[in-house]
Structure 1
Amino acid sequence: MNAMQPETSPLPANVPGAPPAPASAAPCPDCAGKARTSVSEQYVYAIGQLEVRFPSLGIEREYQQRECALREPGARARGARICSVLERNPHLAMRMSYIFLIDGMPAYAINPAGGFMKDALFEAVAGCDEQAHFCVLVGRTGTFAAAPAHGGLLLTTVSADQLYNFSLSEWVEGLTRSAQPVLESRKIDAAHFDAVARNLFRDTSRTPENLGATEGHRALNYLLVQHPGIFLAAAERPGHHLAGVETRVHQTVGGRRHVIVILAFVDRATGVAERLYCTVDVTEEWPFVVGTEASTSALGLAPFVDSAMYAVG
């Protein structure tokens, strides 16, 4: 699939805070307000997989000793063994290197935002050996991580506020349940929908350019895991293929940031393209679908008509 990629931009590092000024040199309230809003947080909504590494030889040797002390069978997968050791040894869990992979390539160094992330992190570690196991990383970018702590990799850190874990089969089952009323009303075969959804998810999500950091990529990734519209549209058009994905960022009057995700389905026989869209609010860390009167269904996509005006002559 030769899908066009959403816009990309470099990931900015967080600006370190300056030391507090003396009381006599404190800025006026107006200036302080401008300073607080001058640096905005960079959010991430990425789809990938987790990899665990030992940051040093000492940590690796300590892990090996704790693993031997557990006296558990060694036939299990590596991820399951590591998870078992880390659950029983919090001092190791806090020091391991957690790397987020996108299409098999290291993309981010993960720093859990708090203890509430423990269960999700362990679940991701346990499934790290399974090719059909995926994670959705939701968080905020920080500075570059120290290279020695991550095997020499210079990666942007992400403070992870949420980590969704799912297998491809679990994802398809949930997607089918949410779309069941539409599948029945439009007489779409469930097996056909399953096959289309799996192929489209792999083709669209596993691209190294999609780091889930730009507004366009965040909106697209959100739709892939939270909204069945893309997959319903593809399943309803067996003679078409998804030829392109376009995103357009729009700032509303109220200051919120909306991304219009436009998909072009091309008829294989005639070459005629049909364009459908969905609008996603990406103002805050967790995106959501924006309802419009033009939407034909809460689960579907609406026809896209380009109303841009161009000067001629």
Structure 2
Amino acid sequence: MDAENSKDPLAGPVTEERCGCACGAGRDGPSARTEATRPPSLVYTIGRIDFRFPDQGVENELAQSLGRTDTAWMTDREALCEVLNQPENRYLTRQLCYVLSVQGLDTYVLLPRDPADFSLLAEAVRPSHQADALDVVIGVRGDPASRGHCGGLQLPVVTIDQLYSATVSHLVQAIGRPESMNAEQFDKAATDLLNTVLSVAGNVGASDEHRALNYLMVRYPAIYRKTFERSMKDWSLTSIDVRRSGLGGARRIMDVVFTYASRKTDEVEKYSVPVDVTYQFPFRTGPLGVFFDHG
């Protein structure tokens, strides 16, 4: 949620050390200096993290670790998660290839900027019955992974600077529902709004528009409350649009516009939130307010 809101269900470490992995990210040299002249390709995306075996050797090593662990009464997936999160198996967590899927499609290969954060990636691998799991990844997108890094899976590599993990229900509960609002109806409205954003076509969190929208979904509870308030008055959320603000000047400020329509009349209301996406970590430049379309 917002920085001023103490109920942040998705708090994670922010690290700034250079990458210590074998991918070459963060190294000094001519190629690094060439990359430094290009604007970074920033990512703020929501999906689900899983892993792939880079080769059969790592797969067999994990199988042996499973054999040494008491996993009675666990499903295969539960046993795997148990083994990955044991301190003595940290060497294995650094060998796996972590992949973020967006809308069910493999989208990014993930590498932490700080090698110590491999533990966060391992913790994000959950039992399959946790179907409402969510992972929010903030980082910088680079070139596709090399053929040998991820078992032949060639996807853009995102160097992670921050990772949040939660569930849809946990996120909704942390929004901070006003006491005057019906709990069950509020949770339904909030979940519907979140699912609407998660299903936006092409939203892999790489464009300014999608970065602004994804940021609001996990950091700004006011939009959930507004959507619930309008639904209780017989209004529907009909569209979410993101456009470049004319007030930003050299800064990249996006207006995220929520349009509500009456279910009984032709009335339409629009509300917007300005979000500055100039930097890697977006932030609001104003509150949710009535939007007047001058275009």
TM over 0.5, shorter chain: yes
- Between the aligned partners of 1:95 and 1:265, the Cα distance in structure 2 is 48
Asked if 1 retains the 8 angstrom alpha-carbon contact of 2:85 and 2:123, the reply is no
Q: Which residue of 2 aligns with 1:247?
A: 242
The letter for the 1-side match of 2:150 is: H
Superposition TM-score, scaled by structure 2 size: 0.81
- Between the aligned partners of 1:17 and 1:116, the Cα distance in structure 2 is 21
Higher helix share: 1
Asked if 1 retains the 8 angstrom alpha-carbon contact of 2:90 and 2:119, the reply is no
The letter for the 1-side match of 2:216 is: L
- Between the aligned partners of 1:83 and 1:122, the Cα distance in structure 2 is 10
| RMSD of Structure 2 on Structure 1 (CA) | 2.6
- Between the aligned partners of 1:94 and 1:37, the Cα distance in structure 2 is 27
The letter for the 1-side match of 2:90 is: P
In the alignment, does 2:266 pair up with 1:285? no
- Between the aligned partners of 1:242 and 1:287, the Cα distance in structure 2 is 24
Cα 1:261–1:95 change in 2 (3 A) is same
In the alignment, does 2:30 pair up with 1:19? yes
- Between the aligned partners of 1:217 and 1:66, the Cα distance in structure 2 is 40
| Structure 1 residue 139 displacement after superposition | 0.7
Superposition TM-score, scaled by structure 1 size: 0.77
- Between the aligned partners of 1:151 and 1:129, the Cα distance in structure 2 is 26
In the alignment, does 2:55 pair up with 1:52? no
In the alignment of these two chains, the number of paired residues is 266
Larger radius of gyration: 1
The letter for the 2-side match of 1:255 is: A
| Structure 1 residue 262 displacement after superposition | 0.7
Asked if 2 retains the 8 angstrom alpha-carbon contact of 1:48 and 1:206, the reply is no
The letter for the 1-side match of 2:240 is: V
Q: Which residue of 2 aligns with 1:258?
A: 253
Asked if 2 retains the 8 angstrom alpha-carbon contact of 1:251 and 1:257, the reply is no
Asked if 1 retains the 8 angstrom alpha-carbon contact of 2:244 and 2:255, the reply is yes
Using the TM superposition, name which of 242-251 and 43-52 deviates more.
242-251
What whole-Å deviation, never above 9, does each CA across 1:15-71 have from its counterpart, x for those lacking one? Answer: x98739xxxxxxxxxxx9xx7874111111111101111111111111101211223
In the alignment, does 2:209 pair up with 1:212? no
The letter for the 1-side match of 2:208 is: E
| Structure 1 residue 83 displacement after superposition | 4.8
SS at match of 2:174: helix
SS at match of 1:237: helix
Q: Which residue of 2 aligns with 1:42?
A: 41
- Between the aligned partners of 1:131 and 1:208, the Cα distance in structure 2 is 20
- Between the aligned partners of 1:119 and 1:150, the Cα distance in structure 2 is 18
Cα 1:269–1:151 change in 2 (3 A) is farther
Q: Which residue of 2 aligns with 1:235?
A: 228
| Structure 1 residue 96 displacement after superposition | 0.5
Cα 1:213–1:83 change in 2 (3 A) is farther
Identity of counterpart residues, as a percentage?
A: 30
In the alignment, does 2:290 pair up with 1:303? yes
Cα 1:85–1:194 change in 2 (3 A) is closer
- Between the aligned partners of 1:37 and 1:57, the Cα distance in structure 2 is 36
| Structure 1 residue 250 displacement after superposition | 3.7
Q: Which runs of 5+ in 1 are unaligned?
A: 1-13, 21-31, 296-300, 309-313
Q: Which residue of 1 aligns with 2:158?
A: 158
